[in-house]
Structure 1
Amino acid sequence: MELLSDLPVADELAARFAEAGHRLYLVGGSVRDALLGRSSGGDFDLDFTTDARPEQIQRLLSGWADGLWDTGIAFGTVGATKHGRTVEITTFRADSYDGVTRNPEVTFGDTVEGDLVRRDFTVNAMAFDVAARELIDPTGGREALAAMVLDTPATPQQSFGDDPLRMLRAARFVSQIGFTPADRVVEAMTAMAGELERITPERVQQELSKLLCGAHPRRGVELFESTGLAAVVLPELPAMRLEIDEHHQHKDVFDHSLVVLQQAIDLEDEDNSPDLVLRLAALLHDIGKPGTRRFESGGGVSFHHHEVLGAKMVRKRLRALRYSKEVVEEVAQLVYLHLRFHGYGNGEWTDSAVRRYATDAGPLLSRLHKLVRADCTTRNKRKANALQRTYDGLEERIDRLAAEEDLRRVRPDLDGNEIMRLLGLPPGPQVGRAWKFLKELRLDRGPLDRDEAEVELLAWARAEGIGSVGSQAAAGAAWASGGAAAEGVPEGADSAGAPEVE
């Protein structure tokens, strides 16, 4: 069978290794995806395994590669670039694990079959002999691939004991490719979920992100939760399975969140890559509900301010998983804002309220639009259509105001330098208070001309006891005579008063 035939880098390497008396095999996802028809020699990275030892690999790559690095040489891996493509070549491995820290005792093997049986899943335990154009499949990976079944080469207990992250990787492959895990794999994941505590947050976060960005994330999340992995990694998720009785009916929050996740994905831009921030926000937008649920008289249930608590919980959990500050803050802000639209009614908001909605969302506005629309999961088509039409109206109002006032750059009508000159203030907190007052005024009334802004600022300053009448008069005279700009404006004076959501 002709497999991955259009890979000149692989052919060059195979010839180089064969001339030195060594075999070279392509392994990993590129082989699996080629059999699935998911790739045809594109720009993906290439992973190889070989009987050559690390020092021999280095010598064979030297003089051939455009770039060479050996940061993984202790584990038998040497990396290189050639023709713009990245390759990693690893000596056959026959590791053993201590079962506590997941640190392997690195030992090198002698056969490709021995290397393959230590890999995570049978669909990833195939190798392609580049020189011989032959598929090596000692664990039935091709058959499992045809059946779309995810199973382990050894027993799942041994595989997951070697590296517990493989359990989370199973959920990721369900999401990415659509595999169905074998029964014994699910049983082992359920029994061994607690072993994930041995894995560093950074590695867990990477797998969770890949899971959420897959083509079938709902299926991956369902496996993640049902096996108990989520209770270890993201305990707020299973906590959303709230008990419901005949007297206090409400939607199952967990199932609702999965529907919102899928609907948010359906609203993503087709030309762009999966939106991790939007998907995290959709999955976690209601995690504050368990902590705010209250049973009301007459059988009702309320979740007052669950968006406020939810934003705090999101921030705490995503930080623990070592997400970047940018991702943490964006997801938390979306969770915080996702409920605000429900105060819009049938369009009763003033222009001031519309400005605040758009300004508080800032660069997240397009994502907030998608999240709010996705959060409509009612089966009542008339109600759903009415909500969507109402939101259409809000978006139109935002677009109109944006065209008129440039809402993306809502700022006070006077900057920090002008505030200090008018009020006779040095750089400091009082300038920030004045800046915030002017921004709130701008949101309430729209753009003001300079004279109006100055009058409002001076009136506010007198009421607040900020600055002296004399200094204000002097400042006014300076303006009239075109006085020089104030020096020493603190960095950030034009962006004061933007509180973090807590």
Structure 2
Amino acid sequence: MSKHTETTYATVPLPAGFPDDVALPKFVIELGQRFEDAGYELALVGGPVRDMFLGSNVTDLDFTTDAKPEAIQQILTGWAHAQWDIGAAFGTIGARYGDWIVEITTYRDEKYDPDSRKPEVVFGTDLIEDLRRRDFTVNAMALRLPDFELIDPFGGVKALVSGVLETPGTPQQSFSDDPLRMMRAARFAAQLGVTVSPDVAEAMKDMGSRIVIISAERIREELVKLMIAPKPRRGLELLVASGIADSVLPELPALRDAQDDTHRHKDVYEHSLQVMDNAVEREADYFDAPNFVLRFAALMHDIGKPKTRRFEAGGKVSFRHHDVVGAKMVAKRMRELRFDKDTTKAVARLVELHMRFYGYGDGEWTDSAVRRYVTDAGDLLKHLHALTRSDVTTQNKRKARRLAAAYDDLEARIEQLAEEEELAAIRPDLDGQQIMEILGIKPGPLVGRAYKYLLDRRLDEGPSDFEASKQTLLNWWAEQPEAQD
């Protein structure tokens, strides 16, 4: 994604149908002229063209050309401030012009062997054929430069207007060439608010099992894009309805089998989607941008329920420890999808903590309870605030107001105590070195046990001075078997 300032934009003579206020960076015309002077074609293609039709100024600049990578590099020499080989074997050269990053790719035709994760790339010579290989008609449009001639051979504009996602060729051929396109269909449903055509929906159901040949890393990237889109529910419902979720996120469709007696008006699957919807709406109260960790934790917070469901006397249904079980399950799934350790740990921790608020009941929060809540959440406190509030989906308005008021009180208590103590950095009143000096012991597990004991006392009773803390430590030490050795 490029960085830019307003001065880099210029109004260009775009074809009829584009919004009047859509702008492009000034150098696009110049770049198109350079390719034309060298005897080659150049066109702005795919997402940028689609986004301009939707009224957005472009932030990514993707171009396609009949020039081979070596020729692209020659044309860019003396014009670009820097250039690099993104993947010459795939025909893509990257360049920087000012603060902008552009990618230029040779016309190509790529297909997947039925059992391979890697495409076979063949360079092409025709723009229409290059567009034909693309995933969906909304991405199979181009603006030929430098004259900005719209090339839309497969009805991409019509698809945008109607809000229906279609493929340039048959969806069966498109998904056979690259099965990841089925996940992209779900992502675009979430991102653009479109639906898929009946043919695309049918092909996704018939061919969904082919998604298993795609690498976990590529699946993860599409899942993240879907989750941070404006309407992630639409994409997730499409993945579940098509059966693709059974392969990439099986914990989600499994929720349909865990009827939750606590949420009689909806099953756990619907409840989880609603919690995620609530998190999407509420995240602006805590974050400046779409937050994947919050949204994914909201979606997955109850995935431990199917494994922990028990039928109690009187027809009641319980899900004891589903938070702990769910945390382990989501961590396992995210590792399989090759998420980084920090993101995985954050989501799993939120799933583990999502019931913590309800464990305190309706009573007044003590200082000790507040300290433990903040300490357990750590850097995820804002996420936990948003998740806990989002988890209220009851249709009982009186109950919803009571829970909201209770959480308002908790946040107020946190703010009040934070003014008195450094809640975000609560530590025992004695550090490890002091513990060793007072007890006359060497580094080892015993120091850790003493540290944990002092931390628990700190959380329960608040801060104390050195002498009082020292006496607390000595009292604890007197009861330890090691002290008798």
Which of the five TM-score ranges fits, normalised by the shorter chain? over 0.9
SS in 1 for 2:123: coil
Residue 48 of structure 1: aligned partner: 63
1:10 to 1:227, Cα distance in 2 relative to 1, 3 A: same
Q: CA deviation at 1:206?
A: 0.4
Q: Shift of residue 5 of structure 1?
A: 5.3
Q: Report Cα offsets for 1:43-86 as digits up to 9, x if no partner.
A: x2211111111111111112221111113100111111111111
Indicate conservation of the 8 Å contact 1:237/1:287, yes or no.
yes
**Cα offsets for 1:60-114 (capped at 9, x unmatched):** 1122211111131001111111111111111111234322214222211121001
The answer to whether the 8 A contact 1:49-1:92 is kept is yes
8 A Cα contact 1:260 1:374, kept in partner? yes
What does 1:63-462 correspond to in 2, within 5 Å?
63-242=78-257, 244=259, 251-269=266-284, 272-462=288-478
C-alpha distance after superposition, 1:421-455 (max 9, x if no partner): 10111122111111111101101111111111000
Correspondence 1:31 to 2:43? no
Give the whole-Å Cα distance in 2 for the aligned partners of 1:95 and 1:429: 58
What's 1:20 paired with? 38
Identical aligned pairs, as a percentage?
55
Is 1:2 equivalent to 2:18 in the alignment?
no
Cα distance in 1, alignment partners of residues 370 and 147 from structure 2 = 66
Query: Secondary structure of the residue that 2:161 maps to in structure 1?
Result: helix
Structure 2 distance, partners of 1:373, 1:383, is 13
Q: Is this contact kept in 2: 1:242–1:290, CA < 8 A? A: yes
SS of structure 2 residue aligned to 1:64:
coil
Deviation at 1:416, TM superposition (A): 1.1
Q: What RMSD over aligned residues (CA atoms) do the two structures have, in Å?
A: 1.8
Secondary structure (helix, strand or coil) at the match of 2:40 reads coil
Q: Which amino acid aligns with 1:330?
A: A
Aligned-partner Cα distance in 1 for 2:260–2:194: 35
Query: Deviations 1:356-397 (Å, cap 9, x if unpaired)?
Result: 111101111111111111101000101100111111111111
- Which 5+ residue runs of structure 2 have no aligned equivalent? 1-12, 16-21
- Alpha-carbon spacing, 1:460–1:243, altered in 2? closer, same or farther (3 Å): closer
Q: Deviations over 1:169-188 (max 9, x none)?
A: 01000111111111111111
Q: Distance in 1 between matches of 2:215 and 2:109?
A: 23
TM-aligned CA deviation for residue 468 of structure 1: 7.2
Q: Distance in 1 between matches of 2:194 and 2:64?
A: 25
Moved over 3 A (4+): 3-6, 243-246, 248-251, 465-469
Letter aligned with residue 418 of structure 1? Q
SS of 1:105 mapped into structure 2: strand
Query: 1:15: how far off?
Result: 1.1
> How far has the Cα of 1:244 moved from its partner?
4.9
Q: Distance in 2 between matches of 1:429 and 1:344?
A: 32
Q: Given the superposition, is the C-alpha separation of residues 20 and 245 from structure 1 closer, same or farther in structure 2, using an over 3 Å criterion? A: closer
**What secondary structure sits across from 1:95 in the alignment?**
strand
What is the match of residue 5 of structure 2? none
Please report the TM-score for the alignment, with normalisation by the length of structure 2.
0.93
Compute the displacement of 1:150 (Å): 0.5
Distance 2:472 2:236 in 1: 53
How far apart, in 1, do the equivalents of 2:401 and 2:479 lie? Answer: 48
In the alignment, is the contact (CA less than 8 A) between 1:347 and 1:393 conserved in 2? no
Q: CA deviation at 1:350?
A: 2.9
Q: Which has the larger radius of gyration?
A: 1
Distance in 2 between residues matched to 1:265 and 1:237, nearest whole Å: 18
Change (3 A) 1:238 1:397: same
Residue 298 of structure 1 aligns to a residue whose secondary structure is helix
